[in-house]
Amino acid sequence: MCTICRVSHHRNIKNVKNAFLENKSNIPASISHEDKKILEDYSFKNVIKKPEHIGRIARMILPKSSLWQPGRKIKISFVGGKKKINEKVKAFAKEWLQFANLEFKFITDPEDATIRITFKPSQGSWSAVGTDNLSFGIDEATMNFGWLEHPSTTEAEFRGVVLHEFGHMIGCGHEHESPKNGGVPWLKKNAYDYYMSTQGWNKEEVDEQVFDVYSKNQIIGTTLDKKSIMMYAIPNWITKGDFEVGWNYDLSTSDKTFIKKTYPKT
């Protein structure tokens, strides 16, 4: 399973600042005038006037989005990886660009890149989300593919995981963490057992990766999309009623519609 990066309090504050500087609409208009002034002072002047303002900025992580400015050129570099694998990653990643007004520029120097991709098997597959990538140091990976080089990985699995992680990179969260229509009807005890046994996650990690939901401020749309590339596969026995999700390997109709609206072409 892909995991969402859970970061430190300090990095959360940087994430809010970078999201705001990249795309002002990432911070909802509903925040108070005082909070907006605190964020502006920190973002544009690097000034925090009172210690308690740090906590107020950190709390803005809950309603914020992490979307790039439409038209953004995003520099991407591979840190290791076989040439054949890297070329396949490029090809599948660019499927998003058929619908999103963004540009992926693949370069050789990781220190000049915003996105740095590694291939460490022990880390599974993960990616930072959208503008949160800007908070990482130039020596840190922002995306990892843990099993693309494994000989048992099928073409469909390869395509699905690349589309999924690049979906995170351009600002998409996990669909199963959406509050739309009540979200997934989990049987929590069964779900804990399943993710602990298959992923090795403890209770806190299952809470973070599975049960936590996004703020409604961050969600666009009204229905849960079981066919989304951003949706976990979910077996029937860990949910209530007749609810299950198979493995998705392609962008769904809703994925394409969402990303067109999010990054409109001029």
Locate the domains of the chain by residue range.
3-59, 70-169, 175-260
Q: Are 163 and 229 in contact (CB under 8 A)?
A: yes
pLDDT reading at 137 higher than 60: yes
Cα separation, 168 vs 3, in Å, equals 10
Q: How confident is the model at residue 177 (pLDDT cuts 50, 70, 90)?
A: confident
Q: Which two tokens stand for residue 181?
A: 């229509």
Among 5, 3, 35, 4, which Cα is nearest to 20's? Answer: 35
pLDDT reading at 220 higher than 90: no
**What is the model's pLDDT at position 180?**
66
Cα separation, 143 vs 126, in Å, equals 6
Evaluated on CA atoms 151, 229, 63, 44, the torsion sign reads positive
pTM score, two decimals?
0.85
**What is the model's pLDDT at position 199?**
84
Q: Average pLDDT in the 49-61 region?
A: 77
pLDDT reading at 128 higher than 90: yes
Relative orientation angle of helices 9-22 and 33-45, to the nearest 10 degrees: 90
Question: For 190-203, what is each residue's pLDDT tens digit?
Answer: 999 999 998 888 89
Q: Which of 75-84, 148-157, 248-257 has the lowest mean pLDDT?
A: 148-157
pLDDT reading at 145 higher than 90: yes
What's the CATH superfamily of 70-169?
Answer: Collagenase (Catalytic Domain) (3.40.390.10)
Evaluated on CA atoms 109, 149, 166, 213, the torsion sign reads negative
